[in-house]
Amino acid sequence: MESMEKIVSLCKRRGFIFQSSEIYGGLNGAWDYGPLGVELKRNLKQAWWDDMIAHHDETQAVTGAPSPFGMVGLDSALLMNPKVWEASGHVGGFSDPMVDDRETRARYRADQLAVFALEFVAADGGVTSYDGVLFAAPGEIGKTDDVELFEPHRKRIASIQKNHAGKQLRVAAVPNALQDEMLRAKVLAPGASAPGTLTAPRAFNLMFKTHVGALEDNSSITYLRPETAQGIFVNFKNVCDTARVRVPFGIGQVGKAFRNEINPRNFTFRSREFEQMEIEFFCRANESADWYRYWRERRYNWYLALGMRRENLHLREHEKDELAHYAAGCADVEYDFPFGRSELEGIANRADFDLRQHMQTSGKDLRYFDDQEPDEQARRYLPHVIEPSAGADRGALAFLCDAYHEDEIGGEMRTVLKLHPRLAPIKTAVFPLVKKDGMPEKALAIYRTLKRHFNVYYDEKGAIGRRYRRQDEAGTPFCVTVDGDTLTAGTVTVRERDSCEQVRIGVSELQPYLGDRIGA
């Protein structure tokens, strides 16, 4: 697994991802996609849209009906009536527990600050607990195996250890230390000089507030959407009434979402502005468990089909105590990032919670009407919902990490992004071998022909080996080189990125040859 520093540095060097407003010192939690990055992210979103919506042709695995179920798209506004967020539960409950350090002014998510006590184990197995100071470090609550110790912590621990010579040090999690005033007073925060500087955790709502219109009072408050999903729910009836869809069917949406995360970190993984690709799939209550399993598998397999390595991708079913009160099931697609295994996408069985909330709050009847149902009682009902909710930025980052390789070709090291051709920002590069003898003219003609079909890059500068390596780093799957034989025999070489193998083919065959392999 490559280090995050290498990925971040490649992203900056080659123009995948930059810090937002960098010349002014940046803005924490916001990122800009450069010329290569924007293509990668667009390709990922396009692949999602094509596979889930536009080219969707999946038959009804669960109901057994031979025709494909409906999948339609939507693009709802970022700003919505604030009642949406009251009904959805976001105004009341979309918050993370936050603690502040009064000394260092650092701010933490309480559930991401691990607190632990020291214990000393004697040779005979006897354990002495040291209860003078508790130590807090960024890490998952309750877990102590991967805590990062800060230097002042290490010094203090070393001096405590002196009084327990011959015994082995171990750490024990103290899960609820921050909630308990007595225990909190003993906690030494990261970077703090003395214990007791952390505040009690308090709920911090993650929605960005803004005002709509000229008056900045309470009546004009609304929020930047923290997810795209609610835009789908509030349009459920509009779509049913206009799109000729029948349950089971899904509505998909791709777009920006905003969350005022307490601690944005791990590059684009946790940002304050990001993009989601979400589906709300509406089905009958008695089929929801089957559809839930169907979507879980389908979404997991989607990443594999785009070339993600199976050993890095996991499908994790949530434990019962992790589930929201209304949810009947939830699974995460997780990826082994260099900073640890983390969520790419969540697939949740949300029952009829969202439609019911909006029906109650808006007073509008959001029930689905099934005109083919013979039983009059059963004709109107609130469908249940399966929600596969993916992040485009997390997806793009995972594909970058997965594609990053350093290998040796002909005795020279190279960095190569082994991106699936559908995701690759540039599909083909065209080079004249040398900048003379009519080769640039010929290469430009080929470039122009191919450019009508896909994203092609022309490069005539520098040694051919360096030009290949520049494209390897950008993830370009094919390089076409025009040489002396092109002018005499009408053939070019096509070099494949991962194997570096070259084949000679006729110029006239080039477009279908590449098109087949690129999927364009």
- Dist. CA 389–CA 277, nearest whole Å: 6
Residue from 153, 270, 358, 384 touching ligand ATP (CB under 6 A): that is: 270
Name the minimum Å distance from CB 406 to ligand ATP.
Answer: 27
* Residue in 257, 209, 230, 189 with CA at minimum distance from that of residue 29: 257
Most distant CA atoms of the chain, gap in Å: 86
For residue 70, state whether it binds ligand ATP (rule: CB under 6 A): no
Name the minimum Å distance from CB 393 to ligand ATP.
Answer: 5
For residue 344, state whether it binds ligand ATP (rule: CB under 6 A): yes
Q: Which amino acid is at 56?
A: H
Binding mask 169-208 for ligand ATP (x = CB under 6 A): ----------------------------------------
For residue 391, state whether it binds ligand ATP (rule: CB under 6 A): yes
Q: Which amino acid is at 467?
A: R
Q: Which stretch binds ligand ATP (CB under 6 A): 284-292, 391-399, 430-438, 495-503?
A: 391-399
How far apart, in Å, are the Cα atoms of 447 and each of 428, 433, 467?
A: 9, 14, 15
For residue 296, state whether it binds ligand ATP (rule: CB under 6 A): no
Q: Which stretch binds ligand ATP (CB under 6 A): 161-169, 268-276, 461-469, 494-502?
A: 268-276
Name the minimum Å distance from CB 255 to ligand ATP.
Answer: 11
Name the minimum Å distance from CB 209 to ligand ATP.
Answer: 17
Name the minimum Å distance from CB 271 to ligand ATP.
Answer: 4
Using a 10 angstrom Cβ sphere, with 0-12 exposed, 13-18 middle and 19 or more buried, the burial of residue 238 is exposed
Extract the tokens encoding 20: 């937002």
For residue 259, state whether it binds ligand ATP (rule: CB under 6 A): yes
Using a 10 angstrom Cβ sphere, with 0-12 exposed, 13-18 middle and 19 or more buried, the burial of residue 243 is middle
Nearer to ligand ATP, 172 or 304 (CB): 304
- End-to-end alpha carbon distance in the chain: 31
Residue from 250, 329, 346, 421 touching ligand ATP (CB under 6 A): that is: 346
Looking at beta carbons, which residue is closest to ligand ATP?
391
Nearer to ligand ATP, 205 or 389 (CB): 389
Nearer to ligand ATP, 208 or 458 (CB): 208
Extract the tokens encoding 271: 């940002």
Rg (CA), the chain: 28
How far apart, in Å, are the Cα atoms of 339 and each of 146, 267, 307?
A: 11, 10, 21
Residue from 147, 306, 390, 446 touching ligand ATP (CB under 6 A): that is: 390
For residue 393, state whether it binds ligand ATP (rule: CB under 6 A): yes
Which ranges in 27-106 belong to alpha helices (H)?
A: 35-49, 82-87, 90-93
| Torsion, Cα of 111, 114, 117, 122 (10° steps) | 130
Residue from 51, 140, 336, 343 touching ligand ATP (CB under 6 A): that is: 343
In the DSSP assignment, the letter for residue 25 is T
Question: Cβ distance 191 to 200 under 8 Å?
Answer: no
- Dist. CA 301–CA 324, nearest whole Å: 25
In the DSSP assignment, the letter for residue 383 is P
For residue 280, state whether it binds ligand ATP (rule: CB under 6 A): no
- What SS3 class is residue 220? helix
Name the minimum Å distance from CB 276 to ligand ATP.
Answer: 5
Using a 10 angstrom Cβ sphere, with 0-12 exposed, 13-18 middle and 19 or more buried, the burial of residue 378 is exposed
Backbone angles phi, psi at 286, to 5 degrees: -75, -10
- Dist. CA 510–CA 518, nearest whole Å: 12
Name the minimum Å distance from CB 270 to ligand ATP.
Answer: 4
Number of residues that bind ligand ATP (CB under 6 A): 16
Q: Which stretch binds ligand ATP (CB under 6 A): 64-72, 180-188, 384-392, 495-503?
A: 384-392
Residue from 144, 228, 389, 471 touching ligand ATP (CB under 6 A): that is: 389
Q: Which stretch binds ligand ATP (CB under 6 A): 215-223, 308-316, 390-398, 411-419?
A: 390-398
For residue 394, state whether it binds ligand ATP (rule: CB under 6 A): yes
For residue 308, state whether it binds ligand ATP (rule: CB under 6 A): no
Nearer to ligand ATP, 137 or 396 (CB): 396
| Residues engaged in binding ligand ATP (CB under 6 A) | 227, 259, 261, 270-271, 274, 276, 343-346, 389-391, 393-394
